[in-house]
Structure 1
Amino acid sequence: MTAASAEPVSAEPVSAERACAARQTPACLVRAPRENAPLRLFCFHHAGGGASFFAPWPGRVVPSVDVLPVQLPGREARYREPRFDDVGRLAEALVRELEPWLREPHAFYGHSMGALVAFAVAAALERAGGRAPSALFVGAYAAPHRTPPLPPADRYGDAELARFLVDVGGLSPEFLGRDEWLSALLPVVRDDLRICASHRKAGLVVPARPSLDVHAFAGADDTLVDPEAVRAWERYARTFRLTRVPGGHFFPREAPAPFFRELNAALVRLMPGRAGRSAGPG
């Protein structure tokens, strides 16, 4: 807008509702953020997954927290969009999209690959001078300086990769032998595995200084990620807590009650003024 075309500035105060309405909901969010939420929880999904992984969460997370699943391009409702295969570029794109919604209190939860993505977004947000998340919750993923728990993108053929996904609980066995289904899914998985392998290129292995409060979750029966590899996130934390919960690699789905009990207690502690003291539905 040029100076000549600028409209006069109204002296009337802008209401919170009008100000928030002016912020368009980004494509990466499956719904508009809720107004006046004390805390927003942005959730990042696992490799080969989508935002639908978090569909049950609003009914399990303490009601005052606004649960906002982040949908990466190239899957579910965004399946026609080009996918990313580099976590650094993905994080920068997400910060650009989400920045208007990151000015109020917020936290990140990332599951498996999503833990790396959430950490990369927090790092990109810090570089951009933005508001840091009140906490970074990471689940079922090794710290960046440890060997990535997921295999390289091209290690397995399609049948072997599908079997691997079934074995860790990330794919229904009914997909096995369904070439038409796998032909749509496996390219997404392979690009996500490339995201996981790009952490060194993105400079995420050694943080300049620990500036995040990190709460890590490890499944007691997770055959893919060792709890000590999850504990290694302590290197990246200003304060750190590790919680082992029942279940395997996808413990929020396999054994939800103990996990959400712990998550809700942590979220309540983050609330401004400690609003919403109830631990929620769990």
Structure 2
Amino acid sequence: MTTSAPVSCLGRTPRADARLRLFCFHHAGGGASFYASWAGRVPPGVEVLPVQLPGREARFREPRFSDAGEAVSALGRELAPLLDERPWAAYGHSMGALLAFALAAARLREGGRGPEAVFLGAYAAPHRTPTLPAPDRYGDAELARALVGFGGLDPRFLDRDDWLRALLPIVRDDLRICASHRRAGLPDPDDERTRLPVRVEAFAGTDDRLVDPAGVRAWGRYARDFRMACVPGGHFFPREAPVPFFDRFNGSLHRILAALDPPPGVRC
């Protein structure tokens, strides 16, 4: 069973009978392919829906976002029918964590159906000193070396000028999204009354050279129910050390599924 219309940022039509839709938001400079293997790693009943931002991969001809508020508003409009239709959760990695959390905040602020949980990976809370490079601080060569430094770019590509010319403009616009987080409609970390009434779980890589656990832990000032776990691996730990990450992540997904209504045909 499927919904009636495809959604461009998903690249396909989601199923209408999934028990839990898991919307996944990719990192700066990345794309939905980061989540290509996730469908086979999560529990049955969870539908993995990688969100593809415009300007890359299958949407490379479309204008890119460069502002967090614009990106969250556009994603919220496009995904709203799906978010209201079925229970959902969100996972965001690095830049995607900002988008996932801001989308959840927008849904609750606007009276829409909120998520069962929001999962954040490898991203410091927005009020912390930025860990990602400033979008216009470095020239192309310096920015490329910075990406290599924290594991975001294979060093072999430093000599591929043609490839870098295609990648670096995408990275810069994504970094502009991160730098504009104040326009994303986030709660005030200094006001406990604004914390989201949603379970938020954050993950930090023990070998992450870009984001330290203290920065990730600071997300606790944005949500009333906050948990954090350190998992093996660097900045891209779901890809570098998937087994320990999915052991922890799937435990949380199983708890969400257990709390939902039983699947069709199951009687209590």
Provide the TM-score with structure 2 as the length reference. 0.92
Report the equivalent of 2:158: 176
Q: Take 2:70 and 2:101, find their aligned partners in 1: how far apart are those partners?
A: 13
Greater gyration radius: 1
1:109-258 map, 5 Å: 109-204=91-186, 206=188, 208-258=194-244
Mapped contact 1:145–1:205 kept (Cα < 8 A): no
* Alpha-carbon shift at residue 21 of structure 1 (Å): 3.6
Find runs of 4+ consecutive structure 1 residues off by over 6 angstroms: none
Letter in 2 for 1:105: P
Is 1:63 the counterpart of 2:62? The answer is no
Letter in 2 for 1:256: P
1:36-55 map, 5 Å: 36-55=17-36
* Alpha-carbon shift at residue 189 of structure 1 (Å): 0.1
Mapped contact 1:223–1:249 kept (Cα < 8 A): yes
- SS, match of residue 102 in structure 1: helix
Is 1:98 the counterpart of 2:79? The answer is yes
* Alpha-carbon shift at residue 272 of structure 1 (Å): 5.2
Provide the TM-score with structure 1 as the length reference. 0.87
Q: Across the two proteins, how many residue pairs are aligned to each other?
A: 257
* Alpha-carbon shift at residue 204 of structure 1 (Å): 2.3
* Alpha-carbon shift at residue 153 of structure 1 (Å): 0.3
The match for 1:88 among 65, 69, 92 is: 69
Report the equivalent of 2:266: none
Q: Take 1:176 and 1:165, find their aligned partners in 2: how far apart are those partners?
A: 10
* Alpha-carbon shift at residue 31 of structure 1 (Å): 2.5
Q: Which runs of 5+ in 1 are unaligned?
A: 1-16, 277-282
Letter in 2 for 1:118: A
- SS, match of residue 224 in structure 2: strand
Q: Take 2:34 and 2:153, find their aligned partners in 1: how far apart are those partners?
A: 12
Letter in 2 for 1:138: L
Q: Which runs of 5+ in 2 are unaligned?
A: 264-268
